[in-house]
Structure 1
Amino acid sequence: MKYVIGVDLGTSAVKILLMNQKGEVCQEVSKSYPLIQEKSGYSEQNPEEWVEKTIAGLAELVDQFEGNIEAIEGMSFSGQMHGLVLLDHDHQVLRNAILWNDTRTTKQCREIERVVGKEKLLEITKNPALEGFTLPKLLWVKEHEPEVFEKSAIFLLPKDYLRYRLTGLLHSEYSDAAGTLLLDVAGKKWSKDMCELLGINIELCPPLVASHEQTGTITNEIAEQTGLFKTVKVFAGGADNACGAIGSGILSEGNTMCSIGTSGVVLSYEARGDQDFAGKVHYFNHGEADGFYTMGVTLAAGYSLSWFKDVFAEEIDFDTLLEGIEDVPVGANGLLFTPYLVGERTPHADSAIRASFIGMDASHERKDFVRAVLEGITFSLNESIEIFRENGKNIDTVVSIGGGAKNEHWLQMQADIFNVKIVKLASEQGPGMGAAMLAAFGSGWFASLQECADAFLSITESYKPNEENVQKYKQLFKLYQDVYKSTKQLNEELLVYRK
């Protein structure tokens, strides 16, 4: 039996999967690391933490493995997007990595819009200037830490830096590069126009490869530290959402995924890079060769539910919290929730908007509030579904993964609100699975990623929309959309009272 490793470099931990040729997860190791948040809006990490914890995790995996270590053939990566790692000419890290959830760069985003122009920005990068992306971070360093910027020879994204430390070779790949605002997404190359307009030396941008391409083998030093054979092939990997899509079988036109974690994502496969969504959703290169994907984001999806539990029901677990929601009718007995706890991304890109419960009265019980929270999260995700449909996409089936796939009543709610068939996978490992599949494909186990998905993935449950509920939710969705318009000005005026 042969094996591959999928390494998922997340925001709070690195998760490492060992998978065999049958698509079975044989071992799983996770190692956590801290965030560095010195000021409000700042979010950084020490890249050395990623390396140390990954090496420790690989060593633990090898130590527990009872098979032939030489049978572990390949390794690939998934990683948190947008983070900025700056290296000097000796490839030493110059400062902490600035992460995707760092929001210090609003000024730089407005500068990008002014210099490049919103229309040209969308034409080249397919995405608006948002604080999370890499280019605004690079411009922030240029302005506020000029001595660091002057020493910079190359920038890397988080998982690309980790891979460099394991192989000694510098690369990025298209799916992660698409989240920098420096990539010509359709042309699959770094944009000279973006670099020249904003005073960025294009040589700061690393060489580009496809997600399934081999980028060397592990170094002798890493082999010694982990116990792996130095012949382990290393493949480029992909951005976390691209790998999540691969790990969910989103590999051809019309395939769509709903992932509910702390944030929520609706992601749909695109065969072409020349479509125009006017910046309403993200438009990135896929980890599947020549593919793309569009993606809408709800910033506080699962976080809305965990927030409600922590504040109002800390003493119980999530299963107990969700008990009885099936007995609450559609519309939560006249209670509506908008999940804007930390602002919103799709379709509003509004950092000032905040959450609301609308329609509360003395008759409401905790289960009404819980159902309202679930409905509100799902309504927010449906905004992305509707954008896709308005642009001509036919969506009739959605693969649901993450926290939203753990409760059958929430799955049925997704089917009713999205008006699609919802399917649940037998084994859900998300981005780590996608990374392992890239390693399996790169190692020659399969002729294509689709063939790999056919072998590794299977559906265990499906939920069809209830037509009566569909019609009720269509009316409620209109009310949900009205809440944003009705509370936008109120929330802006309340800004002065926030901590």
Structure 2
Amino acid sequence: MAHPVLSWMDRRLSKPYIHEDDNVKYVTTTSGYLGFRLTGEFNDTAGNCEVSWPLNRQILDWSEDDNIIAEYGLKREMLFDLVKPGEKLGTIRSELAQELGLREDVPVIATANDKAVEVLGSGIKDKDTIMISLGTLISSMISRDRDHEKAVNFFPTLAAIPFQYVYESNVIRRGMWTVSWFKNLIGEELTSHASKMGISEEEYLNLQAQEVPAGSDGLITILDWLPYPDKPYRKGVMLGFDNRHTKFHIYRSILEAISLNIKNNIDDMLEELNEDINEIVAIGGGAKSDLMLQILSDTFGLPVHRRAGNSSASKGAAISVYKYLGIYNGFYDAIDHTVKTEKTFHPNSENHHFYQNLNDNVVKKAREHTDEILKLTFPIFG
């Protein structure tokens, strides 16, 4: 390798490639690099070539105009060949097959970018269903059959089904990470109580926080533990403490903040599209929490489905393989046969109306006031 792999968080990835090292012969994505290491072939998935790549989205291949390619700091001979999701990248290298104890003719199949393959694996195929991914980065995505230019409140990205698209709402940075941060603050006390009950720390917190009323007795959390670069002054905020509040109020308030924040992001996207949804699929580590999903259901006033299995991304990758091998009749048939719902959460109407009122009259207005204070503290504390 002539240059280290750049993390997706590296700011340089938001700009076209700059050729500074003549030892660099090829420029590719992480999926292209991994595919090369697996197969020895210079192929990549078109479904992972977003933003700073000279991709013609109409044909899912590189632009045929050398001038356009040059605008991205590249030459055609520097780029891997592209295949579509659900097609073959190559065959696993013989020496690698021997090392792993595999047959030497095992094909390696292309998928797409991480969130797009999660959408596929979560079974999102209807226009009125949205996926919420409850991970360190919390995002939500809908599936559509057309691209969208000049979006303001969402990011249109390539789907894991060729010539389909997924729209990603604005995200929550350090979303479920905030729960881990809070668990670490409690420390050994949490571990001890959970151990005595024979349950996980998350289960213990959820069990105790279920007894806290909706709204956490007035404790409001604003989730800016990692602000966006254009608003560096923002910090995480908790408002409204009094003698009623316990650590379980804090925990529930964090979950409610996640739910209200992602709802507002989704509402912004749907308003721009002039569309609605009528059900939610929740995936990721946070989807293991019954309390989190019930709060989501109450916030949106919609049913929330938790899928069976541990990884929607892995399921999406498997569906791409099923399609290639012809085990099922295409992507949608594979979804119907392999994606199952483990549990569905239905909204409590009283809680739904409460959260609507809280969101409209408090949460949406909070940053108007906290921003002004944080602008004063930022020069002092950074």
**TM (normalized to structure 1)?**
0.69
> In the alignment, which of 348, 359, 369 is matched to residue 486 of structure 1?
369
The corresponding residue for 2:142 is 268
Q: 1:218 to 1:344 in 2, by over 3 A?
A: same
Residues 254 and 270, structure 1, Cα contact 8 Å, conserved in 2: no
Residues 295 and 384, structure 1, Cα contact 8 Å, conserved in 2: no
Residues 212 and 248, structure 2, Cα contact 8 Å, conserved in 1: yes
1:158 aligned onto 2:30 = yes
Residues 264 and 300, structure 1, Cα contact 8 Å, conserved in 2: yes
1:417 aligned onto 2:296 = no
Measure, in 2, the Cα distance between the counterparts of 1:176 and 1:483. 37
State the number of aligned residues.
367
Q: 1:352 to 1:439 in 2, by over 3 A?
A: farther
Measure, in 1, the Cα distance between the counterparts of 2:298 and 2:148. 32
- What amino acid sits opposite 1:188 in the alignment? L
Residues 98 and 137, structure 1, Cα contact 8 Å, conserved in 2: no
Matches within 5 A, 1:59-70: none
- What amino acid sits opposite 1:168 in the alignment? G
Residues 178 and 185, structure 1, Cα contact 8 Å, conserved in 2: no
List per-residue Cα deviations over 1:78-117 (Å, max 9, x = no partner). xxxxxxxxxxxxxxx11211101234x4xxxxxxxxxxxx
1:235 aligned onto 2:81 = no
Residues 174 and 286, structure 1, Cα contact 8 Å, conserved in 2: no
The corresponding residue for 1:101 is 9
Measure, in 2, the Cα distance between the counterparts of 1:417 and 1:174. 37
List per-residue Cα deviations over 1:395-423 (Å, max 9, x = no partner). 11111112222122221110111222101
- What amino acid sits opposite 1:262 in the alignment? T
Q: Structure 1, unaligned stretches of length 5 or more?
A: 1-92, 106-133
Measure, in 2, the Cα distance between the counterparts of 1:403 and 1:198. 37
Residues 423 and 462, structure 1, Cα contact 8 Å, conserved in 2: yes
1:344 CA drift (Å)? 4.4
Q: Structure 2, unaligned stretches of length 5 or more?
A: 191-200
Measure, in 2, the Cα distance between the counterparts of 1:332 and 1:341. 20
1:171 aligned onto 2:43 = yes
Between the aligned residues of both structures, percent identity stands at 23
Residues 158 and 165, structure 2, Cα contact 8 Å, conserved in 1: yes
Residues 186 and 273, structure 1, Cα contact 8 Å, conserved in 2: no
Measure, in 1, the Cα distance between the counterparts of 2:221 and 2:320. 39
The corresponding residue for 2:164 is 291
1:341 CA drift (Å)? 0.6
> In the alignment, which of 443, 458, 467 is matched to residue 349 of structure 2?
467
- What amino acid sits opposite 2:204 in the alignment? T
List per-residue Cα deviations over 1:355-375 (Å, max 9, x = no partner). 110112232111111111000
Residues 323 and 367, structure 1, Cα contact 8 Å, conserved in 2: no
List per-residue Cα deviations over 1:265-285 (Å, max 9, x = no partner). 11111111135522x212100
Q: 1:204 to 1:135 in 2, by over 3 A?
A: farther
1:475 CA drift (Å)? 2.0
List per-residue Cα deviations over 1:216-238 (Å, max 9, x = no partner). 21111111221111111111122
List per-residue Cα deviations over 1:247-282 (Å, max 9, x = no partner). 11123433311111111111111111135522x212
The corresponding residue for 1:338 is 222
Query: More deviation in 467-476 or 374-383?
Result: 467-476
- Match of 2:306, SS? strand
Residues 307 and 342, structure 2, Cα contact 8 Å, conserved in 1: yes
> In the alignment, which of 245, 256, 265 is matched to residue 384 of structure 1?
265
The corresponding residue for 2:82 is 208
- Match of 1:242, SS? helix
The corresponding residue for 1:323 is 207
- Match of 1:323, SS? helix
The corresponding residue for 2:246 is 365
1:441 aligned onto 2:309 = no
Measure, in 1, the Cα distance between the counterparts of 2:77 and 2:371. 43
Measure, in 1, the Cα distance between the counterparts of 2:262 and 2:304. 14
The corresponding residue for 1:123 is none
Measure, in 2, the Cα distance between the counterparts of 1:490 and 1:202. 51
- Match of 1:277, SS? coil
Q: CA RMSD in A?
A: 2.3
Residues 52 and 72, structure 2, Cα contact 8 Å, conserved in 1: no
The corresponding residue for 1:304 is 178
The corresponding residue for 1:26 is none
1:184 CA drift (Å)? 4.7
1:199 CA drift (Å)? 4.1
Measure, in 2, the Cα distance between the counterparts of 1:337 and 1:314. 24
List per-residue Cα deviations over 1:282-325 (Å, max 9, x = no partner). 21000112210011221111111111111234542222222222
Measure, in 2, the Cα distance between the counterparts of 1:157 and 1:176. 7
- Match of 1:484, SS? helix
1:432 CA drift (Å)? 1.4
- What amino acid sits opposite 2:84 in the alignment? A
Question: Which one has the bigger strand percentage?
Answer: 1
1:203 CA drift (Å)? 4.3
List per-residue Cα deviations over 1:418-450 (Å, max 9, x = no partner). 222101112232211211221121111111111
Residues 16 and 72, structure 2, Cα contact 8 Å, conserved in 1: no
- Match of 1:427, SS? coil
Q: 1:251 to 1:204 in 2, by over 3 A?
A: farther
List per-residue Cα deviations over 1:120-168 (Å, max 9, x = no partner). xxxxxxxxxxxxxx343734xx5xxx3x2x3322222112211111111
1:206 CA drift (Å)? 2.7
Q: 1:398 to 1:230 in 2, by over 3 A?
A: same
Residues 385 and 418, structure 1, Cα contact 8 Å, conserved in 2: no
Q: 1:339 to 1:455 in 2, by over 3 A?
A: same
